[in-house]
Amino acid sequence: MTGLYFHIPFCAKKCPYCDFFSVSYHKETVSQYVGAIIRNLSAYAPEEMVDTIYFGGGTPSLLSAAQIGEILNACAKYAHLSDSPEITLEFNPTGERTQYLHDLRTAGINRLSIGTQSFSDAQLSLLGRTHRAADGIRTVMTAKEQGFDNLSCDLMLACPHQSEAVLAETLDILGKLPITHVSAYLLQVEEGTPLSGSSELLSHLPDDDTSVDRYLQTVRTLAEFGFQQYEVSSFAKAGFESRHNTKYWTCEPYLGIGAGAHSCYGGTRFQAKRDIAAFCTAPIQPTELIDPSPCGTEERLMLALRMKRGVPVDALTLQAQKKLPLLEKGGYLRAENGCVSLTPEGFAVSNAVIAALLG
């Protein structure tokens, strides 16, 4: 099985913390871009069965439902789709979009990843989001009414001025919504973004210990609402883990189409060039090789340790195995039944723990 990823690099407004490849929305350019996606699909659709499709961005919900439908029809025409593929679209919760959500469901989208980020208006303003808390709630409820039974919400942690009480209020709202999945990310200050140049916001970012506290608060509260952690940033109700994102962590193949899209396919890892004009005009998207032999042993271990199920003890080097007792005593991992897995405390500092084991 393989996955298809479509990068839709258009935004009405770029968030100040985002360093993903995106450009301003222009109707004519988007139309050309959709045509280029379909042209690329016809040229080199995966030979394997496709069981997941993911529209990421950017803001894929800027495309019309008809354009999404065109792409999905092309998938059905040129790719070998499984009987029940997971088809996800990232959705920005702005405005009243009942008809659009209805049309997306009719087009074939069966999972939404909604960019709620917070249910505090003050936090949303600090993050530069264009929606308010009420918009996020309304979007979730409307999507449910329109037949979406698989709904994910994004949550941003360790934001400026995000106190325990502020986060608790957001988590309480989140836990009571009819959703099946939460993706919770620690805010990262990426070089070159507007956030990185805002001394005011940077001065109010939490320190490392406080960030860990907010993360662990999230893990505990989501568990109380029935969301079990299955990856460092991912929480799901039983049976609703993201099938597409799991491919990234288990080194399963996926083909990315669109300017800036990444792929791990055909035994190599590559990226389409970040060039809208080149993508729209070239017969096949121009790409750049990233790794001729992706997912070697160390990378597989690193990615597997991001997941709750962990890795077999004997997959680690003898040197790494010698470090297990100390890390286990510190509460960062569990080593039992021949398997090593990180605890929530370990996930909170996963980069350091994984580096200690693989370094």
Q: Which CATH architecture has domain 2-248?
A: Alpha-Beta Barrel (3.20)
pLDDT attached to residue 199: 73
pLDDT number for residue 23? 84
Tokens at 333, concatenated? 């991992």
- Which pLDDT value is given to residue 105? 98
pLDDT score at 313 = 95
Run means of pLDDT, 10 residues per run, the chain, 359 residues: 96 78 88 97 92 96 97 97 97 93 98 97 91 96 97 95 95 97 89 73 83 96 98 97 96 95 91 94 91 80 93 93 95 93 95 90
CA angle 76, 81, 82 (to 5 degrees): 145
Report the C-alpha gap between 58 and 21 in whole angstroms: 7
Residue at 282: amino acid letter: A
Per-residue tokens: 349: 């500092």
Q: Exposed, middle or buried, 59 (CB in 10 Å: 0-12/13-18/19+)? A: buried
The pLDDT value recorded for residue 16 is 74
Are the C-beta atoms of 32 and 9 separated by less than 8 Å? Answer: no
Q: What is the pLDDT of residue 21?
A: 80
DSSP 252-311: --EEEESTT-EEEETTEEEEE-S-HHHHHHSSS--EEEEESS-S-HHHHHHHHTTBTT-E
Strand partners of residue 90? 113
CATH 3.20.20.70 residue spans of the chain: 2-248
